[in-house]
Amino acid sequence: MSKRVLTTESGAPVADNQNSASAGVGGPLLLQDQHLLEKLARFNRERIPERVVHARGSGAYGHFEVTDDVTAFTHADFLSETGRRTEVFVRFSTVADSLGGADAVRDPRGFAVKFYTAEGNYDLVGNNTPVFFVKDPVKFPDFIHSQKRDPFTGRQEPDNVWDFWAHSPEATHQVTWLMGDRGIPASYRHMNGYGSHTYQWTNAEGEAFFVKYHFKTNQGVRSLSSEQAAEIAGNDPNSHQTDLLQAIERGVHPSWTLYVQVMPASEAADYRFNPFDLTKVWPHRDYPLQRVGRLVLDRNPDNVFAEVEQAAFSPNNFVPGIGPSPDKMLQGRLFAYADAHRYRLGVNHTLLAVNAPKATTARNYGRDGLMAVNSQGRYAKNYEPNSYDGPVETGRPLSAPLPVSGHTGTHEAPQHTKDDDFVQAGDLYRLMSEEERQRLVANIAGGLSQVSRDDVIEKNLAHFHAADPEYGRRVAEAVRALRED
């Protein structure tokens, strides 16, 4: 059988792919060598701007299967009957480091799921922690700047990290999570995932419920100590990518069971914690976990760049029966994520295979822009309404309306009876075993002791004292001991 012919991007056959055209043997190269110029020009443009956060990631395809009836809470089609399967793509990631960083580091992990439903793509973009460091999106750029490389030194600086946390007591709960045993997952397969935000479900009767998503790993939670992680990161910076790839290739398909906490919308206003505060959880004794289904990953991408790096998840990709809540951080992400993808990938990034709907067809009036391939033919109009049988609106909202009141302006979040920044951090500390507390204290002290300013150290210690007196005392003693060495 004859070999396929190598061609240029315009389809012309390539005569020589080993030697550039030159002016005589050993002479200077020629500008007319179209194949050489095309190869070098494409090579210069092979990379796109990496994500500012969640730059380093891995992904896989699979399916989600409904195992329990949740139609009392949502009329989302892909959740409408037990046994229903929906194709998914999942991307895992670290948060703070760049594309070239190591996997086995102490950092939250992104846990993003794209459901290719018959009513459009639904993107659930969360983390492996149920809470986050800040509760208002106006603080998010500052937070990320404090955690990433310093503009002068070009490295992550303990002074910056802990200085921001010193001025952000709301971060105490997430810091306790991050510095605890689950701060460094052993692999992507061995960690839980959370929607983190509060979302709205609406049933067929129009009743609204607020929900939180919990993906519980069926492989069991496994984590690394700081010492184990340092060794693994040095030996194989791609440890989590390698683990996920090889597990799926040998037929060991990782899975998670999805549960939700469900709060009737009428209970939100009087709940003791602000249910829309991303730094808070809903205790399970108040709203128990209710099983929904099973997520399974069983196919690796064929091309990491095309399918993982170019995968675009946007929290504003809802489907009928699911919508947003007044969660401030979620509201900010509804804009920020889609805008980031338009910057990185172009306005037509939704036409890429990994981002395009699979169980339905997108029909809209978007045309043109960089890499446009959606002309839709000579008779398709690019405006609405029209007289040419173009797609029309349904008049049916995706979710129930959110009630609003009061005056516009910059407002602090409404205070509920238990809304301070330390109660839940203290609760988490007291849930830990003595061995877990020892490791938590050691992890915090290891970073905080490197801070150069005493006032920054004292502000952070005050947060741990406020969460739990023993917690604060032990961290203070550990920091003092390390600084005296």
- In one-letter notation, the amino acid at residue 371 is M
Report the catalytic residues: 54, 127
**Model pTM greater than 0.85?**
yes
Predicted confidence (pLDDT) at residue 1 exceeds the cutoff of 80 = no
Contacts of 124 (CB under 8 A, 6+ apart): 112, 113, 115, 195, 213, 315
Contacts of 423 (CB under 8 A, 6+ apart): 467
Please report the pLDDT score of residue 192 as a whole number.
98
Token pair listed for 193: 């995932």
Predicted confidence (pLDDT) at residue 371 exceeds the cutoff of 90 = no
Please report the pLDDT score of residue 466 as a whole number.
97
pLDDT of 173-219, one tens digit each?
999 999 999 999 999 999 999 999 999 999 999 999 999 999 999 99
Question: Distance from CA of residue 90 to its chain's centroid?
Answer: 10
Backbone angles phi, psi at 96, to 5 degrees: -85, -35
Other Cβ atoms closer than 10 A to 403:
9
Please answer whether residues 461 and 467 qualify as being in contact, where contact means their C-beta atoms are separated by less than 8 angstroms: no
In the predicted model, what is the mean pLDDT of residues 154-182? 97
Question: Distance from CA of residue 128 to its chain's centroid?
Answer: 9
Please report the pLDDT score of residue 404 as a whole number.
85
Q: How far apart are CA 238 and CA 235, in angstroms?
A: 9
Token pair listed for 130: 């149920």
Token pair listed for 399: 């979710």
Q: How far apart are CA 273 and CA 260, in angstroms?
A: 18
Q: How far apart are CA 93 and CA 51, in angstroms?
A: 11
Which residues are paired to 174 by β-bridges? none
Predicted confidence (pLDDT) at residue 375 exceeds the cutoff of 80 = no
Predicted confidence (pLDDT) at residue 286 exceeds the cutoff of 80 = yes
The separation between the first and the last C-alpha atoms of the chain, rounded to the nearest angstrom, is: 72
pLDDT of 30-54, one tens digit each?
999 999 999 999 899 999 999 999 9
Contacts of 140 (CB under 8 A, 6+ apart): 134, 329, 332, 336
